[in-house]
Amino acid sequence: TVYERFEDLPFTKFDFVIIGAGAAGNVLANRLTENSRFTVLLLEAGGSNRNALPTMIPFFCTRLSNTQYDWNYTTTAQIGLNGRSIGFPRGHVLGGSTSINGMFYTRGSSEDYDRYAEVTGDSGWSWRSIQKYIRRNEMLVPPADRHDTTGQYDPSFHSVDGINAVSLPGYPQAINGRVIQTTRDLEEFPLNLDMNSGYLLGLGWLQATIKGGSRSSSATSYLGPDFINRPNLHVLLNTRVTRVLSSTRDRTFRTVEFMQRAQGPKAVVSARKEIMLSAGTVGTPHILLNSGIGDREQLKLLGINTSHHLPDVGKNMSDHPRLVNNWFVKGDGGTFDVINQNSTMTDHLLHQWMKTQKGPLVDTFVSHLYFARLPGDRLPNGSDPAAGPKSPHYELGFSNGFVGGTPPSGDYIGITTRVVSPTSRGSVRLKSNDPLDPPLIDPGFLATDFDIFAMRQAVKSARRFLNGPAWKDYRRDAAHGVVDPDFRVKGLDGIRIVDASVLPYVSSAHTQAPVYIFAERAADLIKTDWQ
C-alpha cells in the first residue's frame, strides 16, 4: 500500500525500514517482500510518480531538473569550473533518480566489477559472479516502433526475465545512418555491437530503460502493479528522514526519525531487523552526518554529538563531469530541435504519444554512445584511473539536436562529452546542524589536471568524429567564401589561409589587431589538430 500520511500507517514497527525509494531502495523493497513473512516500510521524501506525466515521457527527461521531481540542489563553488556553482539534480519522487534520469542503460566494463571484487576481496562482485543479478534486473523488450533490431545489439548478453525494462531506440533519428557510416569510415570509432557485453570500447546503439515508449523506472518496475499490492509492503511518501537513532547505547540503530512537513512534528518508526539507507549519494551521507555518524571533529564544530566516529562519511565523492557540445547542421528540420522550438509541434507529438506511445517522444535524447581510452603515454604518472586496460576514460553521446537550452531556431547536432574515469574527488558535508538545511555538495568537477585533459581529449575526439566524410555536407559552413571557420581552403586538403583576406567583414576599426587575434586563434586550432 502506498500512504501519503504517517497517521494512516497500520503500525510503526516493521522488520525492515528502507530509507529512499530510488534505484536501490525499490529493489530492496521488492526482493525483501518476496518473503511474505517480512514486513517492509519504504520511506520516500518525494511524492508519487503516478500521473507524473513529464517523468513518463522519455524525451522530456531533460525537462525534469528544477521541478517538483528534483531536490534542486546546487553544488558549492567548483574550483575546476572557475568558481561557478551548478545545479546538481537528484530525483525527489517515487523512483528517485530513476524517475528523472536520462535512462541510458550501461552496465559498465567487466573490469569495473572485477576491480570491485579485488578491492573488497569478495569474488562475488566479479563480472562473472554478478551475471545472475543482471538477469534478475533486466527485461529486454522490443523498441516502441518494433523495428527489426538485428545488428543493433547481441541478444546473448540480455535477459528477458528480469523486472526493469530495457530497449533499443524506438524512433529513427535522421543522423543514425551517418553515425553508423562513421564507424566504417574512421578507424578511431569502431562499431561495438553490444556495449553491455562487459566490453565497452567503441560506438554502439544506446540501450535505455524504456518500455513501449514510456520510462521504466524503479517505481514503475520494482514497485509496479505486480508487486505494489503485496500485503507486507508499505510505502510512505512525502517523508523526509532526518536521522537514524540508536535506542540504546550499544550502537544498534533501529529507529528512524522523520518529518512530513517542514515545520514538523518529528515522528519515528522502527525496524525489528534492520534499517536500510538507500537515500543516494547525497541523501545517505546527509542523514548519517545528521545522525552523528561521521568525523567527530567536524560534527563537533556544528554542535552535533557524535554517535559513531566514522571519518570517511561524505568523503571520496566522485561523479562524471559532463559537457555538451553543439554544432549547427543542415538538418532541414530533421533534427529533434523542432520539438523544443515549436510548441504546436510539441502539443501534436504529445497527443500522438498519449494516444499511441509512438513518435519521437518515445526516446531519450541520445541515440548512440561511444567509449574510448586515452593513449597510454597520456595517463597521469603512468597510472591508469580506469578499472583496466579495456575500460574507457571518456564517453561521447550523440544527439540528433541541441542538448541544453535549445536556441529558438536552427538545426543542431549535440555531442555530450563525459569523463568516465575521473580522478577528482569531492564531498558531501553539513552546512549546519539543521537536518532540513541542504548539504554542501562538492563533486569536485574537473578539479585535477587529468580530468581536464581527458575532457579536452573527448571534445577533440567529438570534433574528429564530425570531420568524418559522412558529415561533410551536414555540418553547416557558409556556402560562400574561400575558407571554412578553421581557415581551411574549402574543398582542399593541406592548405589554410590565415591573414586579413579571410575576414568575412572588415572590422569596424583599424585591422592589425583583428588579424593578430585571428592568427592567434588559428595557431591554436592548428596546434590542436596536430597534437
Ligand X SMILES: Cc1cc2nc3c(=O)[nH]c(=O)nc-3n(C[C@H](O)[C@H](O)[C@H](O)COP(=O)(O)OP(=O)(O)OC[C@H]3O[C@@H](n4cnc5c(N)ncnc54)[C@H](O)[C@@H]3O)c2cc1C
Stretch that binds ligand X, among 90-98, 322-330, 418-426, 503-511 (CB under 6 A): 90-98
Q: What is the CA radius of gyration of the chain?
A: 25
d(CA 503, CA 38): 75
- Hey, what's the cell of 456? 579536452
- Kindly provide the b/e burial profile for residues 495-519, where b requires at least 16 CB atoms within 10 angstroms of the residue's own CB: ebebeeebeeeeeeeeeeeebeebe
Q: Which of 3, 54, 73, 102 binds ligand X (CB under 6 A)?
A: 102
**422 scored as a contact of ligand X (CB under 6 A):** no
Stretch that binds ligand X, among 40-48, 174-182, 186-194, 385-393 (CB under 6 A): 40-48
Q: How far apart are the first and last CA of the chain?
A: 60
Stretch that binds ligand X, among 114-122, 273-281, 292-300, 324-332 (CB under 6 A): 273-281
Q: How far is the CB of 377 from ligand X (least distance, A)?
A: 31
**40 scored as a contact of ligand X (CB under 6 A):** no
Q: How many CA atoms lie within 13 A of 420 on its CB side?
A: 26
Nearest partner of 91 among 35, 22, 10, 12, judged by Cα = 22
**276 scored as a contact of ligand X (CB under 6 A):** no
40 among annotated binding-site residues: no
**44 scored as a contact of ligand X (CB under 6 A):** yes
Stretch that binds ligand X, among 95-103, 156-164, 390-398, 462-470 (CB under 6 A): 95-103
**104 scored as a contact of ligand X (CB under 6 A):** yes
Our CB check for ligand X shows the closer of 27 and 203 to be 27
Q: Which of 163, 165, 287, 430 binds ligand X (CB under 6 A)?
A: 287
Residue pair 419/454 in contact by the 8 Å Cβ criterion: yes
Please, which of residues 230-259 interact with ligand X by CB under 6 A?
Answer: 239-241
Provide the β-strand partners of residue 488: 496
Helices (H), 94-228: 110-120, 131-137, 176-185
Q: How many CB atoms lie within 10 A of CB 449?
A: 12
- Hey, what's the cell of 145? 516502433
**279 scored as a contact of ligand X (CB under 6 A):** yes
Q: How far is the CB of 435 from ligand X (least distance, A)?
A: 8
241 among annotated binding-site residues: yes
**400 scored as a contact of ligand X (CB under 6 A):** no
Our CB check for ligand X shows the closer of 285 and 331 to be 285
Q: How far is the CB of 290 from ligand X (least distance, A)?
A: 9
Q: DSSP letters along 434-445, please? A: -TTSPPEEE--T
Provide the binding-site residues for ligand X, judged by CB under 6 A.
Answer: 19-25, 43-46, 89-92, 96-98, 100-104, 239-241, 278-280, 283, 287
